[in-house]
Structure 1
């Protein structure tokens, strides 16, 4: 299983909680983290990102910053994940260079094609189902929506497409079986008991899908 096939998107009521949860999932075996801080000032965002970089370095994990190209660059993150209303990926590439990972959020085939044209490295496609972690939720895709979008590509996809949004453990095999590359989860791993066992189970499900 490639490391990017299981991504953790941070959540918490404070920057400190985000960092604690990131540390817990890294210790339990996740090797791709997206720091998703919302509604904090730039100084707090950068300070948290620098601490996140230290945690990810400790575990050899890939670190992605949500939304902010400037914080991604200043904190020496591995990449940035851009929403549909954020900076254009081409502009981000010009600022960050070729070695940075750039991901993009998509909700439709049109979004996916746009992102591919703009040179993203992976697409976060969703939401799979309702999730409370997003304030402005795009239309829910479900398995049928994913199947439709993947079939439109006719297997001509060069970049990873990662499912996101309200995914539960039992969803993993069927999501991957339709041609999705990986999953990005938040609530499934945040503040959970037996985290190491839970992650091991998810990785096993992904390995056989």
Structure 2
């Protein structure tokens, strides 16, 4: 079997199991069995279970960052840029798949250590800095209220966007843009200068 396909199978199996059982509750043997291989075969693709978790989290970050950069780098007015960035973040959650985002991306990454943890923390800081720029531009332009706490505003925005995978069903009657466009409007109502 080609390497890329085998890696995808391992990642899919690990993502599902880490999400269901947690990182600590998932053995290498269980991942290998779910991927249709022997435990030893997994190590020819990933040096450890932690390296596998790191790979999944970093790939999720890359998808989200690409989506956010596309929205943030446009020539939109600050309010429209905020809205586009928020919708891009939410949509990227569903692009990487609701099976991976909730537990792995929000909590399980904290089981990483050493260089893998440092790497993920760097990705997270860079992502937060993009959001700080988007929100900061809106504050400086007078679009968002003077005195808006940049840190708190970012935490609220990312919390709402990240936990969307816990309650929104993309196969439902309304699209991501319909539902989260209204969510973005509600957040903007709290941030806009009057």
Q: TM-score, normalised by structure 1?
A: 0.27
Would you tell me which structure has more helix in proportion to its own residues? 2
Higher strand share: 1
Q: Which has the larger radius of gyration?
A: 2
Between the two structures, name the one with larger relative contact order (CA 8 Å, sep ≥ 6). Answer: 2
